[in-house]
Chain A
């Protein structure tokens, strides 16, 4: 992506609250018509980043550019960037139609009443709220409120929409449905979405590109499948919530961990030595079996049924919980005896190794 097609760019943005750095020299850009999801744990500075881009907070240092223009000192209401709030922030005393029309009726540019009515109706139809126009916003469901929030922003025809955990206030079922709708609506409008979330599944499912933020810094950016299969640091692997992580020592191409010493031909450079193996890459053998690869003795504790897969929990001798995922498409799950020892094994080439001597 080149600077010419970038819709927005932030350059070395730093923001502190009472000495604590919420954003530490963050540089990020997004292209036209792109879905960018920003993944980070709570306190990683992701909401602050959105608020700086929207203009609700001024950065301590760094510049914000939008459509090639420096907007660092432009007030929020003159930026033309849409913002969808986590709790939707609908105007409680107005109807659905009045909420959606608010920006056109009260914005700086004057839009005729006819055009306002027509654009309002068009966007209400698009988000699927036809028939609800005259309801109060406290008389509609959570999913419908989410649509009103989105319609209210989209009707202003912004080139960039910032979404602050937009699905966080919805129940799981609705979240799945809104996920698809958000993508469909965005594709229809052809605008850039910057979607902030603390949920790794949401970030991976929705973004054309995923940015991982931790302690005010961007620690990785890439396509969802690239992030998922090649996390660049133990922290990214940790946020993905799909890896068993073991501390140990990496030296001369060998990783010494609780499972013995294993050859680690390929290692990623990181500040600490960590051995990561995905939940669904582990195999469970009887304790008496002899494994070819690395093996870890662990006690079976319990399992959790997840619909398409079963998650088995094991405890190693030093008290660490190891998760093993069994996809039900691969056949019925094996039944394990609680409090019995098993042998966990995996193919060493499927592990991701981080270490100080990695490349």
Chain B
């Protein structure tokens, strides 16, 4: 595992230097950014087992915070991104406190509505967000001392550093007592509550962290791309992120990153398939769930090293009445 992580890090560090041109460098940077968002979704879905469909909403909140602070108030990227993370986290905390009282299907439907409300507000609040026109001319990251961020390579490394920090943070989270509680909630919420774990606190923390990471990814996205439209927060964005997590392996720390690279990379490189992209993605999502519910991480992981994520909890639950766990 340690060698694997070292090798992955080495590849990640070298990658921005060896990509053939600026176009691929841009894709690589985007992949790092979306991987951060996928790691965020993985915290609430993979660790705590709650399907949140509001994820792109928080990505949008982070992105629009950076964009609007920069274009309307002259706030720099460096101050805007933390502000975006903070706003996403605060809204995530409030929304999570309310939504997480609903369980299972209700939680998924509730968060889908929340994501839609965020997206509709961004679309319709034209005096603030310029609606469908979007925000243009968002300044990128300025220089810190001698380090400049105009070049694609520098931005790519900036995204990579953020991704690395995200991975360290989520790994530590998973190994901490509260991370263990999240996994316990995923495996069986009634059981976790019965042995005295604070189920709600763990779920709320998972949701807040997930929103904060989406906000970070959104902020980076806005600064790097330079323009921003409401589609950055729409439900399709949530689906894409969900696919990244599912392909890589739900619940595994590095799985979502691998999933992002494979899915996002393929979708960008195989431009010929542009029209059929969502046809393939939709089908892939269904087939994955049916035949490979643990994603690539499930294929490569040696058996019995980790508690298996969703499949096993289901067999536990299948014994009890389906109506009971609502």
Decide whether A and B are members of one complex. Answer: no
